Structure 1
Amino acid sequence: MRVTLLGTGDTTGTPTVGCDCATCEGARDRGVERSRFSVHIENERTGESLLVDCSPDFRHQFLTQDVSLPDAALVTHIHFDHLDGLGNAYRVFDHLPVHAADVVDPVTDESVADTVRRKYDYLDRVSVHEQTPHDTFRVCGLDVQFVPVDHPPLLCYGVVVTDPETGAKCSITGDTSYDIPEESRAALADPDLLLADAIVPASSAEHHPQGGAHYDESGVPRTFGTKHMTREGALALASELGADRTRLVHLAHYYPAEEAFAEPLAVDGEQYDLYPSAAEERT
């Protein structure tokens, strides 16, 4: 199973349009980018591939990264930076199955699957397939689960992808605070590769109107505001889950420049070949 990080940034990406902060300048100087979030997972046994979230940067990502167009897609939640790239399916795919959770969100009165179906009803090449959280379904020869996480006010899901033949496992937290339900933590546990939302360092919580949450024993916030994990929260979760390797994603340009490109913060284009209990970096 080959995992390519197509987009490792938050809703504005890094560099952010119109921004000349030291972190955005540092990204330009290094020639690296963190576009809006998306992950490409290839099943090398079958030659099929799966796209996790449809970034608005879809076109740019597939023109700049050496990966195939996906045979199917997953949508974790309905925020535009994870969904609105689906419009790129127009004239690109003969058919694209899109899988999304079937639970009705009390905020929207729709499930994620319902919203995808409604917003993209003009795309006759897209078919929406409803999936029940925690149930395993097979797509592209891989076993997939949506697992509920915590990203108020909307319902949001992490993703677990396992190769049923090799046992290789990739866990993706999705957009979430540290307050991930125990059943979901159990599903995410023991991955060969963990992709964890870590929007900012914990020090940034002092600048958020709601501060931080889910403090550790030293008083360090593991959640920034209410919706996303801090770097420290994501690393604590990785330790708890027993991740073999962790890459931090959904990163904002608010990381101080001297910290913004340090390990284990990811940048676009990283690629990993996964085997049981090991994640080997390709590029």
Structure 2
Amino acid sequence: MRVTLLGTGDTTGTPTVGCDCETCELARARDLERTRFSVHVENERTGESLLVDASPDFRYQFLRDEVALPDAAIITHIHFDHLDGLGNVFRLVRDLDVFAANETDPQTGQSVAETVESDYHYLEAVTVRPQTPLEPFSTCGLEVTLVPVVHPPLVCYGLAIEDPDTGAKLSITGDTSYAIPEASRAVLADPDLLLAEAIVPAHLCEHHPVGGNHEGPDGVPRTFGTKHMTREGALALADELEATETRLVHLAHFYPAAEAFEDPLAIDGEVYKL
């Protein structure tokens, strides 16, 4: 399993358009970037590729990293930075199965799968495949399980991707607070690689209107506001899940420059072989 981090940024990316903060300026000076979130998973045994979330930066990411166009895709939730790149498959992909959860969101009255189908009804290549969370399904020769996480006000899902032949496992938290349900944690546990959402460091919670939540024993917030993990929360989760390796993703440009590009914070283009 070859995993390429196409996009490791949050909804605005780093550098952010029109921003001259120290972090964005440092990113420009070092030619580093974090485009909107997306992950490319290649099954090297079968030659098939799976895309996790369709970033608005789809075209640029695929050209930059020279990865194969996807044979299937998974959409974790309907925020634009995870969904709106799907239109890029027009005239590029002949057939694309798009997997998404079938649970109805009380906020929208639709499941993620139904929203994808209605928003992209004009794409003849796309076939939406609704899936029940916590029930494994197969695609691209891999076993995938969607797991509910907590990203109010919308439903959102993380996922575990396993190679049934080699046992290699990738877990992705999705956009979430630290309050991931135990059943979901059990599915995500023991990955070779964990991609954990960590939008900002915990010390920035003082700037959020509702502060931080889910404090650890040390009093440090593990959730920024109500819907995203802090760096400290993501690392605590990684320890609990006993991840072999962890990379932090969905990162905002609000990380202070001195911290913004230090391990384990990911940048675009990183590649991992599991």
TM-score class, shorter-chain normalisation, is: over 0.9
**Residue 232 of structure 2 corresponds to residue 220 of structure 1:** no
Measured against aligned partners, the alpha-carbon deviations of 1:37-71 in whole angstroms (never above 9, x if no partner) come to 00000000000010000000000000100211110
The one-letter amino acid of 1:235's match is L
Q: Which residue of 2 aligns with 1:155?
A: 155
The one-letter amino acid of 1:219's match is G
Tell me the SS of whatever aligns to 2:191: coil
Q: Which residue of 2 aligns with 1:133?
A: 133
In structure 2, C-alpha distance between the alignment counterparts of 1:89 and 1:119, rounded to whole Å: 14
Q: Which residue of 1 aligns with 2:231?
A: 231
In structure 2, C-alpha distance between the alignment counterparts of 1:65 and 1:32, rounded to whole Å: 13
TM-score (norm 1): 0.96
The one-letter amino acid of 1:151's match is H
The one-letter amino acid of 1:83's match is L
- Percent of pairs with identical residues: 71
Q: Shift of residue 108 of structure 1? A: 0.4
Tell me the SS of whatever aligns to 2:151: coil
In structure 1, C-alpha distance between the alignment counterparts of 2:245 and 2:6, rounded to whole Å: 18
Q: Which residue of 1 aligns with 2:170?
A: 170
TM-score (norm 2): 1.00
In structure 2, C-alpha distance between the alignment counterparts of 1:99 and 1:216, rounded to whole Å: 35
Q: Shift of residue 221 of structure 1? A: 0.2
In structure 2, C-alpha distance between the alignment counterparts of 1:146 and 1:170, rounded to whole Å: 12
Q: Which residue of 2 aligns with 1:38?
A: 38
Measured against aligned partners, the alpha-carbon deviations of 1:72-113 in whole angstroms (never above 9, x if no partner) come to 000000000000000101111111110000000011000000
Measured against aligned partners, the alpha-carbon deviations of 1:111-134 in whole angstroms (never above 9, x if no partner) come to 000000000011111110000001
Superposed, which structure 2 residues align to 1:69-88 within 5 Å? Answer: 69-88=69-88
Q: Which runs of 5+ in 1 are unaligned?
A: 275-283
Superposed, which structure 2 residues align to 1:163-202 within 5 Å? Answer: 163-202=163-202
Q: Which residue of 2 aligns with 1:210?
A: 210
Q: Shift of residue 232 of structure 1? A: 0.1
Q: Which residue of 1 aligns with 2:18?
A: 18
**Residue 124 of structure 2 corresponds to residue 124 of structure 1:** yes
In structure 2, C-alpha distance between the alignment counterparts of 1:217 and 1:196, rounded to whole Å: 20
In structure 2, C-alpha distance between the alignment counterparts of 1:250 and 1:192, rounded to whole Å: 19
Q: Which residue of 2 aligns with 1:96?
A: 96
Q: After TM superposition, which residue ranges in structure 1, 4 or more long, deviate above 6 angstroms?
A: none
**Residue 244 of structure 2 corresponds to residue 244 of structure 1:** yes
